[in-house]
Structure 1
Amino acid sequence: MYKQPLTEELASHFKKVNDFRARIYQLQNAWDSLALLAQLSGTGSEMEHTRSAFNTISNDVLHHLSNETLHKTAAQLSSKAFVIINLLVRNLFERTADIGFFATDDDVRDFLQHHAAGALEARHTDNIAIRFQEYQKKYTVYENIVLFDAQGKLIHQLESDQTTLDDQHPIVALAQQSDAPYIERFYETEINGRTYKSLVYAHTVRSRDGRTVLGVLCLCFKFVNELDTIFRNLISHDDWAIGVLLDEQRHVIASSDAYQIPLGATLCAEPAQDWFICRFSGREYLCVTKQSEGYQGYLGPGWLGQAMIPLEQAFNHTMREVVEHIDPDVLRKVMRSPLIFSDSLLNIPKQAASIQSKLNQSVWNGNIWQSNYVDTQQKNFSKTLLCEISNTGHKTQQIIEQMVSELYQTVVSVMLENSSFYAQLAVDIMDRNLYERANDVRWWALTYSFRALLGQNHLSVDDKKKVSSILGYINSLYTVYDNLIVFDRKGEVIAVSNHRYEALVGTPLQEEWVGRTRSCQSTQDYVVSRFEQTALYEGKHTYVYAAPVRHLDGNSIVGGIAIVFDSAPQFEAMLKDVVPKDGDNLPVAGSFTVFVSEQSHVIASSRRDIVVGNSFELMPAIGKLQEGEQLFDIAVDQNTYYAVGAHAAYGYREYKGPQDSYRNKVVAMIFTPLGKVDEINQRISAESQIIHNKFNPNLFLEYGQETQEYATFYVGNTWMGIETRHVLEVCDEGQLRTLPAAAPFIAGMHAYRDEVIPVIDLARMLGHAHYFTDYRQMIVIEDKARNLKFGLFVSALGEIPYLSQSQIQPMHSLFKGGSHNPGIAIANIAQADAHHSMLTLVTAESLWQKAVARHAVQADALAVS
């Protein structure tokens, strides 16, 4: 049983979201109380619009945060489910090639022929036993090798105590009746009360002429061991997620936690859904199911990978460990990227600031009204109330900004984690692939014909043709190789599999790994070249794997076999498989992957301008990674921010393991674009020019007999103030009629109530280079004694402090050429922060006089010209 509920139905499980929601509810209660008090006291401040706007934007952010919280967990589960099925299918693809090749083995044929003739001797049994043992030593993914005769009788197996397969097993008849390149079947056998699982690959063994079926060979894959390995690398001990593998009937055939999801249980699975809720054994799980994407046309047995996590634990993740080591300045910039965030999300902080600015405007006007029209006792109470209204707005704005920051960080952390995850997948795929190469070269070195022919003192032309024929057949089955080479004990090339390299035949190999090949001590030893340019691969970079060919007596090395990995297309395919995908399962535009050697040289790259063999210097920190370690960071390359995940290879099974002398640390890096540097900087620069109202009535409420109240405001970053008795109110810019002949700092005429007043653009008068008119406000100033009334465009509103005469220093001549400066005094506001400690005081008269004077200067200049 499953369902896919709306995100809101999961809201009770979003702990971080619910913490924010609780804080918003508390503030909403405070708004209710303040609204009632404001109505009763007549503060002149209108809050209903503010409350409604903050409520709308809060709900919007909570909705987005809920969706991203769900997406983060679903993305993690999706990655795990993807790996479970696709890593397994890649492994099984190699098995489909193994069975077809091993079924043509001469030793296996000879054994079956002697068995059919009733001529088996002890030496034949010993030989086949050694042959099976050698195969399993190389290909440790098999737990048993079983051989049946043509009548279906089990005549030999590697592990005699295993009884998964027995006489007349159904797979024998299936193989005999099939023309397919392999038979693949999954079996569960109960032995002594225990269930054994085995994935078996079968193929008929035929005579050399192909006419007679001699028997059936079966390779038993280490199914349980392989899934345990995948689960162990995928799910850490402190991870609540569970990985399962489901068969075609949705039965659990492998589980990372059999106590929660036992083997044999039937689960719901929905590969078509991004995520779904499944109830099992009285518990609800968030689940993601993935089908195999297939590998080189092989789709696997039709199984499904599924990852699931209990709902009560699904959303308890934290982003601290993901982003705590990221440069805060870089992270701040990335969180303003239009590439990963929509305009609606990017504008939320600006909207919140705008709402608070509107509230501050209302509170500012309320204070002006209280200062000019209310008696002192009522004024103190009202101003305190207005202060609390503004503070509540600030708290609401801060919570919204915190929620938005959490939202932004959630999105960025998902991209960082995805990059790191795909980097781990990349090195896992690489090591698993190269593990097979080490197996192949050692196994083919044991080919009977190679050993027999190279053991001769002289090879005829026919002998060399035979070797070439065998190499060609092998290469036709194993297309990951560009060429296979057999050379004699002197290093001279005897035969090649690829006709393009026939010129090599008869020439000595000069590569350094040839000498190392002669030093191998056992049939388990092999050597690998450096990743370098070689004539054996048309001058391109690749790995060459080699192993010695031993005499049939096993006492001497008579030559060797080298296999040239077709690195260019093979690594390209690996990189393609690990490129991050978007919501439509398409590669993320601009993302790329790089394999880098321990010497920081490029092994492979999905970006054309990153050349194989060149040094890679973009992420020097990867040089410090130890095997199996990872890192994620944000890097800048070609004017682009990238989420970078890096993971150092850690080997697979015995390959590059503790018992393996071969070491080759490769680091995979996944780069996912986060945005263009110049676009982000331009956006941040534009946003920094916007000055929202900074009114905070918490400051400067001390009222005294020798104090005067000042209304302050900002023009650009200049803090200025005027006595409140000269201020009527602040209002938004309405219709403004410009005056063509007026100076630039005379903005025009503005309709105010039932009259028209001139408006001074103080920013232009003060010579501010950058001034954004979209956010300016108009303060209406009146000096009745001098019959002055005009508007003043300002950038933002400030506090309304009480100032004593001791704080004010007259300014007769502060600036050279000070005729354009309307300031009459400087107030030293010790209570304010350092940035706002100096306040320029003006009067209605000084403002108007400076405007008139500047206009006259300009008019004279025009007349002279």
Structure 2
Amino acid sequence: MAKYKGIEVEDAVRPLLPHMPLIEEYREMLQSLQAIWDNLNLLGQLSGTTAEIGQTREAFASLTGELLNNLAEQTLAKREQEMKARSQVVIDILIRNLFERTADIGFLATDGAIRQFAASPDDPWALQQRFREYVRKYSVYDDIVLLDRNGRILVRLAEDDRIAAIRDAWVREAAGTTAAYVESYAHSELFPERERSLIYAYRIRSEFGETLGVLALCFRFGDEMQRIFHGLTVHDDPAVMTLLDADGCVIASSDRWQVPVGAELRVASGQMQRVRFAGRAYLAFASDTKGYQGYMGPGWRGLVMMPVDQAFDIQDDDGLDIGDPALLASVMSGGRAFSEPLRAIPRKAEAIQRDLSRAVWNGTVRHGVATSAVVNSAFSKILLREISRIGMNMREVFSRSIGKLQSTVLSSLLADSQFFAGLAIDIMDRNLYERANDCRWWALDDRIRALLANPSAKARREGLEQVIRYINSLYTVYDNLLVFDTNGVVVAVSNPAYSALVGKTLEAAWVGECLALHDSQSYAVSPFAASALYGGKPTYTYLAAVRAPGDERVVGGIAIVFDGAPQFANMLRDALPREASGEAVAGSVALFVDEAGQVIASSDDSYRVGQTVSLPAELIKPEAAGCARLIALDGQVTAVGAWPSAGYREFKGADDAYRNAVTALVFIPLGAYDPQARSMAVEGEVAMRRTSQPTDGEIREIATFHLAGHWLGLPVTAVIEAVDLVGVACLANAPKQVYGALIYRNETLPIYNLHAALGLPDDEQPGVRRQVVVVRGESGGNFGILVDRLGEILEVPTCDINDLANIYVGVASVLASVVTTHGGGAQPMLVLLSEETMREQLRGCPLPAPQSA
């Protein structure tokens, strides 16, 4: 622990507190109020007015430190979680993308046209057109190059007359590797103006296994990183997102003016750190990739850096808008959102405020009883009123601080749910972008086109299945690939389990849509529905028209059946929020739903595919930037984040005819929901005031208190003081008007149960101690009244008090009179009790021996 301006705080947050303006504001307000209170307390002690009040000073100071320390820790934890999540996504989204590239190079290296050219180079124009067609679909590449095994350029999409041959090491490596691909991120002579280029390469082999050359796919690395950064950037965001190579060198940056490419940063992974860079202090969080399908990438890391002096400026000082108060009250009573120390803070604040209120209330009562004996009675009452006012101000600051603490914790959880929903839908869009590309490219395969255009070709089915089975072996996200003719008759399948489909006619409407596609850039997608092509399970099927070699005549189509069940579930599981251990948050669930709220996929079995979820409309059809809500769901208070599909690159873009509204939802359970739960009642001001304008008539002082929503009172002269309900003993077989007894000033004090006497509900709140108003009895026969909380001490003109004796009879006769004017705004009517009636009722009840409390 460390000291910060008189407050004890954790070492980790001490250097950051000067940069947390909101916490500084609360600290200054609380310490200023405490200084005023100290002066008032000193005056009270000198006048003998506030003997009890000084006891709460230390408790207030302790709670001030605890509250501000926790608020600082939660503010830091919220920022850390945001930075951790973003740094993880920076690297993992990229790794998923690069995994697809490793499959692309392996397949494209077997392309017949490329093989033929590598074996017998001639006019490169036709092959350049084929490369151009590929890049139109796979727009993640900016160049494709075919070289001989010595590095001489045979064909290049982006022609450059200055470069005829290159000596890059990856050329030799790709020509002789036994691996499935070669991945190189280094300076390449293909792009002399670039410091580094990301290239995927593989050898071209003849049908006899001879190496004919090397094919290279040049990835649009800079463009892709800026897309990733842009998708993770929030408005007015001071954070800098970067990508580090294995040596800690920055290879991509969202803000090259703050953190330039080429800078070296030595940061450990998996922990928040404070670093200095270019003379400025930053918070930094770096994440290693979790990998994808066993692919771990080139050893890169995602890093998020936040300038310390701006890290905590992006705060929303408004509380969360939670329509149902039971939601917040339920979360505060238990669950994962708030630790026990955090849940205890509001209880401690309320207990301290209650103690202060009781001290002021008792002091005011005493001065009201002994007015004639106290020379400085007017001064004492003014002093007590001022102490009460300062106490109210402190309570207001505590309330705002606690509200901000609660808001920080909950808004962090809501932001998590929204962020991870955005991650899930981004993963889906990027994945399905590849599917739309695959079907269109494979429809251009020369072998598929030739065999499908020639119904009488020998071993037609075997030839087609050889091609599509090889494709399916590289692209395992598909359950099956089918080729069909212009009548919709299945000619070949890649998965032997579906061999029975060969020769059968596909009746689905999307067959006609596929065969009617007007060019090689167009594709069709089935609705998400149960399909015989997928064993009766629902999925998407992507289709493209196959055209005859040499012309645009459609000769059939190719259908690729996405293995939706495991693939979508894996995407959703990867997007679940995680504990520090790396395990998914217990009970958290992620879904993909359509615009009708029907489940497309779930991260576990808690939701069935096809089931309709009942949620607010803004979660099913959220705005483009997503949203998050706190709701009651299946008996749990749940943070729900939602994010709609926006597509990726050309997929679902402005020029894409395909539209399919899908929303990702992430649910984080926070605790059991109790619709009756309510936050603690707030203590009101207890100092003395008048109920109406000054009058020349007689004035009576009334000590008031609250009970089950009713405002009750007794003459100050009938009251000794208020005490906490501590050490009460239950009385066996006692009448309902007797709550129990406690020891007061070495005597047994019976406690009158007004709840029972007046037939009021007894809604005692757990963890909140009630109070007992001690009523002055005859010959020392004092008794107590159980109350929920204390009210004000009022000066009431006698003419404003109306007798109720002729209206209420029986047990209700404890209600003696009513104050007709109290000036309390929204306060209920003030009813005065009859201490004589209560005393008589207690006298008529022989008190049994006390039992254990």
TM-score by length of 1: 0.91
Report the Cα distance in structure 1 between the residues aligned to 2:763 and 2:469, rounded to whole angstroms: 76
Which residue matches 1:79?
85
Query: Does structure 2 conserve the Cα–Cα contact (< 8 Å) formed by 1:190 and 1:196?
Result: no
**1:16 equivalent in alignment to 2:12:** no
- Tell me: CA distance 1:735–1:262, structure 2 relative to 1, closer, same or farther (3 Å): closer
Query: Does structure 2 conserve the Cα–Cα contact (< 8 Å) formed by 1:634 and 1:642?
Result: yes
Write the mapping of 1:472-483 to structure 2, written as runs, cut at 5 A: 472-483=469-480
Cα deviation 1:219-247 (Å, max 9, x = unaligned): 11110111111111111452111110111
**1:606 equivalent in alignment to 2:597:** no
**1:724 equivalent in alignment to 2:716:** yes
**1:849 equivalent in alignment to 2:840:** yes
The 3-state SS of whatever aligns with 2:310 is helix
- Tell me: CA distance 1:605–1:349, structure 2 relative to 1, closer, same or farther (3 Å): same
**1:27 equivalent in alignment to 2:20:** no
**1:630 equivalent in alignment to 2:621:** no
- 1:327, CA displacement in angstroms? 2.5
Query: Does structure 1 conserve the Cα–Cα contact (< 8 Å) formed by 2:357 and 2:683?
Result: no
The 3-state SS of whatever aligns with 2:792 is coil
Report the Cα distance in structure 1 between the residues aligned to 2:568 and 2:164, rounded to whole angstroms: 38
- 1:365, CA displacement in angstroms? 2.1
- Tell me: CA distance 1:136–1:221, structure 2 relative to 1, closer, same or farther (3 Å): same
Which residue matches 2:205?
206
Which residue matches 1:787?
779
Query: Does structure 2 conserve the Cα–Cα contact (< 8 Å) formed by 1:699 and 1:799?
Result: no
Specify which of 99, 103, 127 is matched with residue 97 of structure 1.
Answer: 103
AA aligned opposite 1:155: L
- Tell me: CA distance 1:35–1:8, structure 2 relative to 1, closer, same or farther (3 Å): same
Which residue matches 1:568?
565
The 3-state SS of whatever aligns with 1:798 is strand
Specify which of 299, 307, 310 is matched with residue 307 of structure 2.
Answer: 310
The 3-state SS of whatever aligns with 1:835 is coil
Which residue matches 1:578?
575
Cα deviation 1:768-806 (Å, max 9, x = unaligned): 4426597344444335xx535312133133322222220
Write the mapping of 1:676-691 to structure 2, written as runs, cut at 5 A: 676-678=672-674, 681=675, 683-684=677-678
Report the Cα distance in structure 2 between the residues aligned to 1:162 and 1:246, rounded to whole angstroms: 34
Aligned residues: 833
Query: Does structure 1 conserve the Cα–Cα contact (< 8 Å) formed by 2:244 and 2:252?
Result: yes
Cα deviation 1:508-566 (Å, max 9, x = unaligned): 22221111122222221111111111111111111111111111112311122111111
Write the mapping of 1:701-850 to structure 2, written as runs, cut at 5 A: 706-733=698-725, 743-746=735-738, 751-753=743-745, 758-770=750-762, 772=764, 775-782=769-776, 787=779, 789-795=781-787, 796-818=789-811, 821-843=813-835, 845-850=836-841
Query: Does structure 1 conserve the Cα–Cα contact (< 8 Å) formed by 2:354 and 2:683?
Result: yes
Specify which of 39, 57, 68 is matched with residue 62 of structure 1.
Answer: 68
Report the Cα distance in structure 2 between the residues aligned to 1:597 and 1:111, rounded to whole angstroms: 46
Report the Cα distance in structure 1 between the residues aligned to 2:350 and 2:690, rounded to whole angstroms: 20
- Tell me: CA distance 1:706–1:201, structure 2 relative to 1, closer, same or farther (3 Å): same
- Tell me: CA distance 1:484–1:705, structure 2 relative to 1, closer, same or farther (3 Å): same
AA aligned opposite 2:389: N
The 3-state SS of whatever aligns with 2:776 is strand
AA aligned opposite 2:839: W
Query: Does structure 2 conserve the Cα–Cα contact (< 8 Å) formed by 1:776 and 1:793?
Result: no
Write the mapping of 1:215-234 to structure 2, written as runs, cut at 5 A: 215-234=213-232
- Tell me: CA distance 1:108–1:779, structure 2 relative to 1, closer, same or farther (3 Å): closer
Report the Cα distance in structure 2 between the residues aligned to 1:738 and 1:573, rounded to whole angstroms: 59
- 1:399, CA displacement in angstroms? 1.4
- Tell me: CA distance 1:825–1:740, structure 2 relative to 1, closer, same or farther (3 Å): same
Cα deviation 1:242-267 (Å, max 9, x = unaligned): 11011111111111110111111111
Which residue matches 1:178?
177
Report the Cα distance in structure 2 between the residues aligned to 1:266 and 1:152, rounded to whole angstroms: 32
Query: Does structure 2 conserve the Cα–Cα contact (< 8 Å) formed by 1:152 and 1:167?
Result: yes
Cα deviation 1:744-776 (Å, max 9, x = unaligned): 534566544365565544444444442659734
AA aligned opposite 2:405: L
Q: Once structures 1 and 2 are overlaid, which stretch shifts more, 382-391 or 143-152?
A: 143-152
The 3-state SS of whatever aligns with 1:821 is helix
Query: Does structure 2 conserve the Cα–Cα contact (< 8 Å) formed by 1:144 and 1:157?
Result: yes
Report the Cα distance in structure 2 between the residues aligned to 1:478 and 1:7, rounded to whole angstroms: 49
AA aligned opposite 2:208: D
- Tell me: CA distance 1:570–1:739, structure 2 relative to 1, closer, same or farther (3 Å): closer
- 1:190, CA displacement in angstroms? 8.6
Cα deviation 1:103-135 (Å, max 9, x = unaligned): 111111111111xxxxx433xx23322222222
Specify which of 280, 284, 294 is matched with residue 283 of structure 1.
Answer: 280
- 1:821, CA displacement in angstroms? 2.5
Query: Does structure 1 conserve the Cα–Cα contact (< 8 Å) formed by 2:691 and 2:822?
Result: no
More helix by share: 1
Query: Does structure 1 conserve the Cα–Cα contact (< 8 Å) formed by 2:421 and 2:665?
Result: yes
- Tell me: CA distance 1:620–1:729, structure 2 relative to 1, closer, same or farther (3 Å): closer
Report the Cα distance in structure 2 between the residues aligned to 1:409 and 1:834, rounded to whole angstroms: 28
- 1:682, CA displacement in angstroms? 5.2
- 1:148, CA displacement in angstroms? 1.5
**1:107 equivalent in alignment to 2:100:** no
Specify which of 354, 360, 364 is matched with residue 363 of structure 1.
Answer: 360
Query: Does structure 2 conserve the Cα–Cα contact (< 8 Å) formed by 1:547 and 1:561?
Result: yes
Which residue matches 2:3?
none
Report the Cα distance in structure 2 between the residues aligned to 1:450 and 1:757, rounded to whole angstroms: 97
Query: Does structure 2 conserve the Cα–Cα contact (< 8 Å) formed by 1:175 and 1:204?
Result: yes
AA aligned opposite 1:805: T
The 3-state SS of whatever aligns with 1:389 is helix
Q: Percent identity?
A: 38
- 1:294, CA displacement in angstroms? 0.1
- Tell me: CA distance 1:779–1:323, structure 2 relative to 1, closer, same or farther (3 Å): closer
The 3-state SS of whatever aligns with 2:572 is helix
Query: Does structure 1 conserve the Cα–Cα contact (< 8 Å) formed by 2:240 and 2:254?
Result: yes
AA aligned opposite 1:121: D
The 3-state SS of whatever aligns with 1:720 is strand
Query: Does structure 2 conserve the Cα–Cα contact (< 8 Å) formed by 1:435 and 1:655?
Result: yes
- 1:648, CA displacement in angstroms? 1.1
Cα deviation 1:313-361 (Å, max 9, x = unaligned): 111123368944x535365445535111123322322222221221222
Which residue matches 2:532?
535
Report the Cα distance in structure 1 between the residues aligned to 2:35 and 2:162, rounded to whole angstroms: 72
- Tell me: CA distance 1:42–1:282, structure 2 relative to 1, closer, same or farther (3 Å): same
AA aligned opposite 2:661: K
**1:157 equivalent in alignment to 2:156:** yes
Query: Does structure 2 conserve the Cα–Cα contact (< 8 Å) formed by 1:338 and 1:675?
Result: yes
Query: Does structure 1 conserve the Cα–Cα contact (< 8 Å) formed by 2:689 and 2:794?
Result: no
- Tell me: CA distance 1:565–1:733, structure 2 relative to 1, closer, same or farther (3 Å): closer
- Tell me: CA distance 1:372–1:190, structure 2 relative to 1, closer, same or farther (3 Å): farther
AA aligned opposite 1:850: Q
AA aligned opposite 1:549: V
Which residue matches 1:117?
none
- RMSD between aligned alpha carbons? 2.8
Report the Cα distance in structure 2 between the residues aligned to 1:767 and 1:239, rounded to whole angstroms: 58
Which residue matches 2:640?
644
Query: Does structure 2 conserve the Cα–Cα contact (< 8 Å) formed by 1:164 and 1:198?
Result: no
- 1:724, CA displacement in angstroms? 2.5
Report the Cα distance in structure 1 between the residues aligned to 2:299 and 2:236, rounded to whole angstroms: 31
- Tell me: CA distance 1:137–1:25, structure 2 relative to 1, closer, same or farther (3 Å): same
Q: Once structures 1 and 2 are overlaid, which stretch shifts more, 143-152 or 11-20?
A: 143-152
Write the mapping of 1:247-646 to structure 2, written as runs, cut at 5 A: 247-273=245-271, 275-319=272-316, 323-324=320-321, 326-327=322-323, 329=325, 332-333=328-329, 335-339=331-335, 340-375=337-372, 378-460=376-458, 462-622=459-619, 624-625=621-622, 628-646=624-642
- 1:810, CA displacement in angstroms? 2.2
- Tell me: CA distance 1:603–1:777, structure 2 relative to 1, closer, same or farther (3 Å): closer
**1:668 equivalent in alignment to 2:667:** no
